[in-house]
Amino acid sequence: MTRTNQQFRLASRPTGLPTRETWELTEEPVPDPAEGEIVVEVLYTSLDPAMRAWLNEGESYVPPVAVGEVMRALGVGRVIAARHQRVAEGDHVSGLFGIQRYAVVAGDTVQPVDPEVAPLPAYLNALGIPGMTAYFGLLEIGQPQEGQTVVVSAAAGAVGSLAGQIAKIKGCRAIGIAGGPEKCRIVTEEYGFDAAIDYRSANVRRELRERCPGGIDVYFDNVGGDVLEAALSNLARGARVVLCGAISQYNEGAMRGPRNYMALLIKRARMEGFVVFDFARRYDEAGKEIARWLGEGRLRSREHVVDGIETFPESLLMLYNGENMGKLVLRVGT
């Protein structure tokens, strides 16, 4: 039976927040796989803050999405056809599938996932790239020591919530920064942070001084902007600042750096960026430890699932409006 694919393609590069006019919804038949390829029915797609940065021309850690190209996205799905020795029809796999109902990809580019071990959306969260990002960003770049104070921005989001929980597992104090009382409640009551600061209603700089009297040993930054400046003003001597993302800046047109970066000199601190793909050879190592923490109930993977590929343009904006509670995932199929 001939299947019809639906795909969201980039129609034009947006200025500020993308709108529905940024995208073109196209349809085309699903081709048969060539030798070495597989056809995946996409079941869930990851929606990530970095997607906005991928729409901009210019230098980045990955090439920008080209106008006319299917929007880049990680996903999980079921193999419906295969011409590959390692992947069989009926397997569940994860990979870079894009915002579409069906993906034809090289079989060597996907990873097996097991829905009996964890729900499929978890493979786009704790057992996927957010989990890897939190694990390596905190432990390899931040290098927290037991008893130290770790502050995480966007602490109710996918990466931030996991980074704070890993900090607690490693014996640290964890302070989260999030938007709104409900997210702050989730940060402390569900994720186990020691305290949460509501950046929408509180003076973040003053709150950090009160919550971190000895200064911040590790600051895991997901937002940039004013919150990053507040953290830099409250560093402990020898602090590590982990640059993971800058969601507050992605729709601003031009990035702005911290005005008080000399705090790094005064506190003999360092600020370091990283890209999770640099640790790809160690994903299995991290995945096994994260799976163990999940099984022991020490780590919580929370997903916010939105239904329908047709809702993609509006669902993506939830990330930048702060509407999602946990990892934002789009349910494409059933």
Percent of the chain with pLDDT over 90: 89
> Over 60: is that where the pLDDT of 262 sits?
yes
CATH 1.10.760.10 for domain 4-121+302-331: no
Instruction: Summarize the confidence of residues 54-64 as an average pLDDT.
Output: 84
Predicted confidence at residue 58, as pLDDT, reads: 76
Q: 229 vs 246, which has greater pLDDT?
A: 229
> Could you tell me where in the chain the CATH 3.90.180.10 domains are found?
4-121+302-331
- pLDDT value at residue 317: 95
User: What pLDDT sits at residue 331?
Assistant: 97
pLDDT on residue 2: 80
Please compute the mean of the pLDDT values over residues 216-230 and round it to a whole number: 96
Of 75-89, 135-149, 239-253, 285-299, the least confident: 239-253
Q: What percent of the chain has pLDDT over 70?
A: 97
pLDDT for residue 255:
72
The pLDDT of 226-230, averaged and rounded, is 95
Domain with residues 129-277, CATH architecture:
3-Layer(aba) Sandwich (3.40)
- Is residue 251 over pLDDT 90? no
Domain boundaries for CATH 3.40.50.720 within the chain? 129-277
d(CA 294, CA 140): 20
276: pLDDT strictly greater than 70:
yes
pLDDT of 19-33, one tens digit each?
Answer: 999 999 999 999 999
What integer pLDDT is reported at residue 62 of this predicted model?
85
Task: Give 324 or 26, the one with higher predicted confidence.
Answer: 26
pLDDT at 273: 96
Residue 275 has pLDDT above 60, yes or no: yes
Mean pLDDT of the chain: 94
Backbone CA torsion sign across 135, 139, 144, 150 = negative
Per-residue model confidence (pLDDT) at position 1: 57
* pLDDT exceeds 80 at position 321: yes
pLDDT digits (tens, 9 = 90+) for 167-210: 999 999 999 999 999 999 999 999 999 999 999 999 999 999 99
Token output for 11: 């129609």
pLDDT of residue 290 exceeding 60: yes
List, for residues 145-170, the tens digit of each pLDDT value.
999 999 999 999 999 999 999 999 99
Alpha-carbon dihedral of residues 137, 143, 145, 146, nearest 10 degrees? 20
Q: What local confidence, expressed as pLDDT, does residue 333 receive?
A: 79
* Residue 204 contacts residue 197 (beta carbons within 8 Å): yes
pLDDT number for residue 325: 87
The larger pLDDT score, comparing residue 89 to residue 60, is at 89
Which own/partner pairs from 288-293 qualify as long-range (CB within 8 Å, at least 24 positions apart)?
289/135, 290/126, 290/127, 290/131, 290/135, 291/117, 291/118, 291/127, 293/166, 293/169
- For residue 253, is pLDDT > 70? no
Q: Residue 205 corresponds to which amino acid?
A: R
Question: Residue 254: pLDDT above 70?
Answer: no
Strands 23-29 and 37-46: unpaired
* Interaxial angle between packed helices 158-169 and 129-136, expressed in degrees from 0 to 180 and rounded to the nearest 10: 50
